[in-house]
Each structure stands twice: as structure tokens, then as C-alpha cells.
Amino acid sequence: MGHGGNVIDELVTDHREVEDIFGRIEALPFGDKDRKVYAEQATMELVRHSVAEEEYLYPAVREHLVNGNTMADKEIEDHSRAEQIMKDLEGCEAEDPEFDRLMGMLMTEIRSHIADEEQNLFPQLRAACPPKALDGLGDKVRMAKKMAPTRPHPSAPDTPPANKLLAPGAGLVDRLRDALTGRGKHD
């Protein structure tokens, strides 16, 4: 799947990529070391995706939708729960029974979040926001994902302006750590 287009198309593409990674994890037997690699890849994608949504999507939701504050707050709450699960998952190896429990919780949380966004939030935003604005948000989200952290930081700010100021620095450190450790890569 290619990235590009408006913010909704971009984020739906991310959703499909994460679901593909989840499918790879589910297809492997308990304890397979590749499950950990795929969990790291899923975490990297989910954190970047969440940061971009918090920086650009949710402020647009607040601005353009009648019940935007309530919707954005709920989505950010979903992110917080998922981010804590991902943080807990970092300390588990694939053969640890806790890995399966946490991975199952993460998949359930993310799948519910995706369904809610795609069935409720995205259609409302598409109806309320001019196409040109959605296209501009798509560009901003793509840029934010390039600079975003790749590791969960549950205590980091999740609303502007603090998140926009701190995320690029955390992202740089995370990407450096990932490069040095080989995180998310197969041996």
C-alpha cells in the first residue's frame, strides 16, 4: 500500500499496515522470536501514527466537528491505554506468557480504536472538513510521522503545543537507539 493523499487515506493505510503486522504475529507459534520483532515493528508504527494524529488530526477534529472535543479526548484516551500496553510489552520476550497476554490486549485495543475511527470519526471529518484542508492535513501527518518517536513515552504530552515541541527530539533519540540496537529488524 502506498502512502499519500488526504489525512484519512494516509491514516487508513497505516491501519492496514498495522493489521498486517498483527496477522503476522498471530500466524507464528508461541515463543517464536519473530513475534517480538513484529511486535517492535507494530509499536514503532503505532507510536508514530499516534503522535501524528495527536499533533494534527485531533486538533482538526476539535475545530471542525460539533462534538469534536469529546471525540478527540476519547481518541487520546485510547492512545494512552495502548501506549501503556506497548511500554509494558517492551520488557517481554516472545517466549514469556506475559507477551501473549499483552499482545492480545494491544490488538484488541488497536482494533477497537481503528473501527471507531473508520466508522465514526473519519466519515464525520470527511463531511465537515473541506477536501483541500484534508489534503493539507495528510501532508502534515506524513511529515510528523518522519520526525515522531518510535518508542512509547506514556508520560509525554499528547496535546499541542507541548507535543509538537517535544516529539521531534524524542523521535531523534528513539531512531538512534533503534539503529544502534537493531530494534524491529530480523537477524
pLDDT tens per residue across all 187 residues of the chain: 457 789 999 999 999 999 999 999 999 999 999 999 999 999 999 999 999 999 999 999 999 999 999 999 999 999 999 999 999 999 999 999 999 999 999 999 999 999 999 999 999 999 999 999 999 999 999 999 999 999 988 877 777 766 777 777 787 788 888 888 888 887 7
Burial letters 110-139, b for 16+ CB under 10 A, else e: beebbeebeeebbebbeeebeeebbbbbbe
Return d(Cα 74, Cα 118) in angstroms, integer: 14
